[in-house]
Chain A
């Protein structure tokens, strides 16, 4: 499986990666984010929003509200499954309609999706390296996403 490993030295680097990600997304594109608290998941989403010319200042963690929608060139659906327990509550927020809707879906705490994990998606795992540095691994799951890490590398 082709995967891309990136060392992010600061949140600035993570934002930059987000902007690059914005160049490879299209409607019905799904990104699942895995990683602990404070590894930069929401920071990465801010970068994607900037890249899509959406107002990055509006991007904040939807841990409490479960989902934010940012409208722009193409809508960005920003989910956070941290507070959701079980398939039922995930489905009830309209998960499927947004995942396969007109925009890009980014799911934070995708490890909580369990059985509701999409069949195909771009998997991004963020981990602490030092206090400020992060290791970010990007992997394409499924046919549609297989070539994506390679495309990001060439940017």
Chain B
């Protein structure tokens, strides 16, 4: 099975190509300029390196966020365009799940925390037992203080929210460990692993209705 995996939810575009049981091409690029102009050349370059064409792809795997609104929209629109034209299935995975699978430590609680600006974070809490990662509760957008209140036992913290709220996290006493910076962003090779599991369970998305995981601050009050 050939899989093209991509996540554009953060400032780091990550892409991987999987063929015959292994990763055959990888791209990790810090976004410079406009994603809508660079995404196609990046995909094209990786395919050329792997000597594959788009029609050789059996399945797309895409990170659904939450994260950058424009990043998610450009990434998903691009993949949906290819998938629709070539009748290729898509597997969608939350970008927080992809980041959670960067954490190596086993038998721990994991908290993924991404900066959502204005004191808010995108977050999700996971339990990892014997190598199996299970999310407990929803993906949510909340003030950092509220997230810390929700955490009942010490956890491994990971994600770019750590850089801004490190002091708060440490002072709360809820941190078992702060993951190192290289693991704060989604990695497409981990997206491939998650997509293979979903493919085995035939958990393909409906290409027409698949949407990014957009989270909004719950209060939409506008000052007039």
Contact = CB atoms under 8 A, between A and B. Distances in A.
A131 interface: no
Interface residues of A, number: 20
Q: From B118, B119, B224, name the one whose CB has the most chain A CB atoms within 10 angstroms.
A: B118
Chain B interface mostly helix, strand, loop or mixed? loop
A87 interface: yes
Contacts of B71: 97
B217 interface: yes
Contacts, number: 45
B220 interface: yes
B20 interface: no
Interface residues of B, number: 17
Given A87-B216, A88-B216, A112 B222 contact: yes
Nearest to B70: A94
Contact of A115 (B68, B70, B214, B217): B217
B221 A114 contact: yes
A114 B69 contact: no
B118 A115 contact: yes
A112 B220 CA distance: 11
Contact of B221 (A91, A100, A115): A115
Interface in A43-90: 85-88
B117 A111 contact: no
Contacts of B117: 96, 100
A114 B223 contact: yes
B167 interface: no
A23 B224 CA distance: 32
Given A96-B68, A96-B69, A86 B220 contact: yes
Interface of B: 33, 68-71, 117-119, 214, 216-217, 219-224
